[in-house]
Structure 1
Amino acid sequence: MSRTRRNLTISACAVGLAGALASCGGSTADQSPTTAPTTSTQPATTSVPPPPTMPSLVGTSTSQAQQALAALPGEFTSEVVAAYADDVTGIAGTLVCGTNFPAGASISPPATITLYVSPNAVACPTGLDYPSLSANLNLRPTLPDRDGDGDPDHVDPAPDDSQRTLAQPDGPPKPPPPPPPPAPTPEEKSGGGDSSSTYYPNCTAARKAGAAPLYAGEPGYRSGLDRDHDGVACE
């Protein structure tokens, strides 16, 4: 009898424990530990702008080219170098012939940009590799002198040559002056006799006056000065 009562007591305890668990929200099998959600953080990245590109400056005035370079983002400086070795022209009145960076190339600051310039009145030298010219400036030519007057083209005054252009500043070489017309023969002279409008007492006086030789029909000619009577006196 006592064994039966003990079994009933254990069963009641078991039933009480199961009810307590049910009142908490379920059986022991439904109870599992919970974990808090995790969040991952990545470091913030900053975008770096691409380097600027070299603007096309050939043919622009030197002052305009310097303004365009000053507007580039970053630290850039410009230097001006004459495209002709013997050119001493200042910045004013010059055009850009080439640069040490080709147009469209990426240029990373800091950098120095070289402008090779020429006077407005002189065409830029051709055949120069401007990007590599700074390594050997002796490759620069001297200023042209196309009219052969001994002065560089841009030094000549404007009336010196009406054919001055940018493409050919001083014009083509000037032809030599035409030879003086041949002296007329005695037969081409009219009035082969003496001329009394001008009188020279002798050939010395004619030469001193710059009139010798005297041809028949010319002022100052007379037969007395023409010793061989060939129509030419004071030869």
Structure 2
Amino acid sequence: MLIAMALLAMVAGGAAALSRAGNLASQQSQRWDREGRVSRVAIQRIRESISRANGSNQFPGVVVMPTTHGSKSFPDRLVVWRCINDAAPRDPQVPYTDELLFYLADPLAPHRLIESRIVALVQPAPPLYDSSAWGTLLQSAATPNASAEWVELNDALRVVATNIGGQPVHLPALRFHPYYAPSDVEFDDYASNLVPWTELAWPLGRASTASGCRMANIDIELQLGGPLMPTPVVAVGAASATFQVTP
């Protein structure tokens, strides 16, 4: 009788353990599904902004601004020239600061992916080569205050803890990879009279001697993770913008 009771207890304990494991697996699966849907919505929002971007000779519609830690750079910040309500830009060549959308992780909580617009600052954006001015602008976009409007797109970005140059850093698993056609190198070749304007790598050959249609393409990758998600969920997407440029 005692042996039978012990066996029954073992069976009951095993069944309870299996039930708990099944519940945990179900909860994790539901979280993966939920975060997967949220990440797809976030990527779709970024893709829509990119596809509606303005562009010019001086600003190619969308620009990746890497975060730098020591000697290493991480392409985790995106700037999109998209005016409020898709209005026409004040200056067709140079965006104003309130016409820019910023996509980046919250530096104080890098698991949060945010969309930011600096609505209280209305002035021409700095030239792309002015990294110091852009650093100040990006810092303003990443600081929650009255001048910047924030939209949280996701709060479950995977965060990688590492050490760079002897300093601990926490990196969001967020990457933007740009591709332009024609490329900046090709425009430099044209400026140096090495390649004719019409022979640059125009998408679908859409160019004349007076203008050309340039394309900016951005590949997007983000990973979701956390204590309840030991296996990261990877979400990817891509979008492009086209705009007219002149010789």
**TM-score of the pair, normalised by structure 1:** 0.21
Q: Which has the higher helix share?
A: 2
Larger-Rg structure: 1
TM-score (norm 2): 0.20
Instruction: Determine which structure has greater relative contact order: mean sequence separation of CA pairs < 8 Å that are 6+ residues apart, divided by chain length.
Output: 2
Q: Which has the higher strand share?
A: 2
